Structure 1
Amino acid sequence: MRIAVTGSIATDHLMVFPGRFAEQLLREQLERISLSFLADRLEVRRGGVAANIAVGLGRLRLDPILVGAAGLDFAEYRAWLRSNGVDTSAVHVSEMLHTARFVCTTDQDQNQIATFYAGAMAEAPLIDLAAVVARTGRPGLVLVGADAPAAMLRHTVSAHRLGIPVAADPSQQLARLDRDQARRLTDRAQWLFTNEYEAALLLERTGWTERQLLDKVGTWITTLGDAGVTLTRSGTPTLRIPAVATDTIADPTGAGDAFRSGFLAGTAWQWPPQQASRLGCALATTVLESVGTQEYKLAPSDLLARIDQTYGRTAARAMEPRLTDAS
């Protein structure tokens, strides 16, 4: 099964200031701030939720279709995505704007000052999912990830109209959605992804109770960090999947996207949700142990060893044929 992944494509510029922001701020001058921080480290990383998820699927040989908007500076990023097995033919490239950018400076107390430039993401609502499907073929699933809200709504409506199952993953955009938008994005989703905080926020935004929401979606998947993942369906007991433990956390950014890659890969291979979640947890821990959302090395033997250690030999054997083929 092929998966279309819609959502943001971005570049992260991450800097470290070796001092404290608080020491540079004068209480009596807070209304007229003009400061420059000399950073001693810069890391430029490829990011964006849709691109992160698509890279994971691409490395597992699932030929995902990336659907999003990028800018004038996209050529190098496009080449990287293609080299990682991602179909970028459905990416809209702006003729005027640059790719979305996240610029963040962190001080020694882990305080952050950041700016997000939406750039070409503002043109994502111009993308016609029906036209993409006509060009690239009908996918078995459309993931609607964080993007310009108008694009998220348009892709959701198009997928339902085409009869293609939807995985709803509103994540960072939940705070911007009103009640009607939140309901339209989640209603009838086959899979719904949130983290623990987003789960509470989604209920607040939709105005639905947990039971009402579960009656409107297939399975609600909630990531809980080192506590693992829960899978909840209406009328059935909640299933909890423990996380794959690690003693080395280099960077938590992108772990949730990696989980989605692993889970969706298992879904594409028609694995039961519990089995797909275990792969997602193993991939998420792999990303936790590396710096950057896409810089990790994916080795099937490593994933299988993690799965064996956490979930047992039987679980690892069930996944071994597919993961071996993916190598």
Structure 2
Amino acid sequence: MKRIGVLTSGGDAPGMNAAIRAVVRKGNYHGVEVYGIYHGYEGFIQGKMKLLDLGSVGGIIQRGGTKLFSSRCPQFMEEAYRLQGIQKMREAGIEGLIVIGGDGSYRGAIELTKLGFHCIGVPATIDNDVPGTDFTIGFDTAINTVVNAIDNIRDTATSHENTFIIEVMGRNAGDIALWSGLAAGAETVIIPEEPYDLDEIVERLKRGESRKKKYSIIIVAEGAMPASKLAEMLKEKAGIETRITVLGHIQRGGSPTAFDRVLASRLGARAVELLLEGKTRRAVGIKNYQVYDYDLMDIMTTKHKADISLYTLSKELSI
């Protein structure tokens, strides 16, 4: 291949820019022109593209968000629009596409491969919910952002002797809650992958009070329940008053951590290599800190699983 495209799709994640940079520079190293497709699949359909040279990706490795922007594109669900996009790519001489995003973006890439267009997926989402990889680009940055927020809230909780419920993102996955809760020493972590016991939560809070503990931190994943609902349940069940913080989209922003920058660089570069090897319908990922690739179709049959050993450890350490 002499000309390829790269786009970012779905929710933004810190490290996407580092992945874009890796794709462009790895491509240029091999004498391949790389075109940035702007605004995700919407830009793919409309042919919004620009040649990216070495200078155009300079100074972006440390920036959050995505230089190529992102969007949701309902039109892409229709085959006629996907064919329109493929035609625009071929008219521009683009022979393959690297899609940086989550499982929804991967599903779009799969549909393009069914129409004969070469695609490689690069996992980037703070939710860490893409099957086939231990970590997704952006996850490490997000949990560090959450841990910093929890540390700050703990200062207030200590000063006012309150119980705080902190709701974190993650969609239907509990990884953000699980990792940040363990790292920040939360007394309770609630994730969608494991059933919760309200009586046990109350007992843990009461046990803390009995040993003169003046505050508690509860982390709840948005996929498990809203923080407001848990607050109501604790008040009705045991008269426990709480304060609520919903961290929201602050978790998506910020300069990517060193881990995310390195991960993005490794995965982006490997994606280019796969296209140059003539591969298609593949995704890159990391297992045991080694980069590998697998069939994109695996996301249709495999579910992401949280590390329940971390959940167990969190409960054991919050006695």
Q: TM-score, normalised by structure 1?
A: 0.31
Q: Which has the larger radius of gyration?
A: 2
When the two structures are superposed, what TM-score results if normalisation uses the length of structure 2? Answer: 0.32
RCO higher in structure (CA 8 A, sep ≥6): 2
